Structure 1
């Protein structure tokens, strides 16, 4: 039997099955095949094959191929951790105030998502951005990303956000305290609220509330609400994935295929940067992400890392 994971906690998975029933399942034999540097074999949104052994329990046999993932680097375990899978799009939620707008967090989150569309959602739009913040925010639209400014407090543009979600599975991700789960509450059911929490005044960052990913549905809207995070480290991947999160680079031709845009001669991206055709802060963000991946690559596999660049 086939089904989709709607909840995953401590190796116990809630599966919505094709027969319309919900099953509580564990992995048969307690293990599924894992890729190198992969921490968790299953995440909310994964489609699986399982066999029921009672009216509401079963054993997971295998995971079907994924069409998309959102995953980050788990610094404690030193592995890639998949947060959500098989979504049509990712809504990356940021805020204009408490916590402040952090474009480099957005750059990292964009890099963590692959195989799906991206929407950047600015919550708390009832607060003003600085001139620089607004320019950086508007830049994402110029780069081709969908952006929308909303306010969970006033309800501004919530209906427009719903329109972007209809008929699709959307994973909501974001920094703690930006109001991500509050937005999900408004969209799914304003009367049934998840626990939300206040902002840490000392650090201007949110305190964690959602502690595991959850699947929600209302009419033709399907949402995977993921835990808020204070920091987002990009996964250890082929460096090409990093370039995909910086689409402006593709407008400029480099002398060598697989150019890393760091120190190679004849780099079109570096030339465009000198001519101010590429935003300097975006380029600096790219360099930091590139170096973070390189530093995490074990010494024995650095040759493989360099080959992936070519």
Structure 2
């Protein structure tokens, strides 16, 4: 005798031949969970039936045509479910469609040269953006502000890196021997690039009609970081990577579309966290805004410094960056309690 388990409910006990008949009728499946009513031994229906020499075969419910007719046209072509109003209610399918089909549509566009690299980078940025929206959004997050933050960051980056970045004296140290080059990468590259990503966050915070949560500012920081990653990715793909051999250029291009924009996002997210804290607790604004600039710039500069000489160290800096952001978010409540006092 067998007891059948479905959806955590037990049914039976049934005689093995009765179970075999149910299988033939399609009422039970060979992979349904079962246990012996006497011994308590567990398994699946198929194993118990085979042990008894029973090998049931499911009976077909009519011919192929009869089965298709019974299933119905609506099952094969769900016209009602595919109506525009219904499709746009299923956000999962919309996201899937955007991720899966956008690049196919982009390939139809008459783009080339710099614009082609930029459009493909935007595609990957959109995927990152959807991921961050799913993982980090708060009640204060909205799509309009997300898009404006992204493109405002890009505008600021284009302005700053059209020549204003050269006003930073510390850039010259990036050409110095290691480890002196660390100074250039932290105070030159890191500080300038993180400042460019944080400008839109300060604008967003100042224009907000309510206090912005640190978690919200982390989200917008992530978006600003991805925006910067698009700009830098296109630069490297069109100017630096193109000079490498095919295999190296391919790997570097993929990195510029995936991992490196992610790191820019993490550093900008850390900056956004402290900017958010500074907005909530203005008495500590000097310290918090300083941390917003110094911590991401240091992590950024250390990563760049070691990437070309000791990549394992650079990878460790990347891991620490992610762990720091996670730690800040986890300890957010305790830090806010401390700053209230």
Q: Which TM bucket (shorter chain)?
A: under 0.3
**TM-score of the superposition, structure 1-length normalised?**
0.23
User: Of Structure 1 and Structure 2, which has the larger fraction of its residues in strand?
Assistant: 1
**TM-score of the superposition, structure 2-length normalised?**
0.22
User: Of Structure 1 and Structure 2, which has the larger fraction of its residues in helix?
Assistant: 2
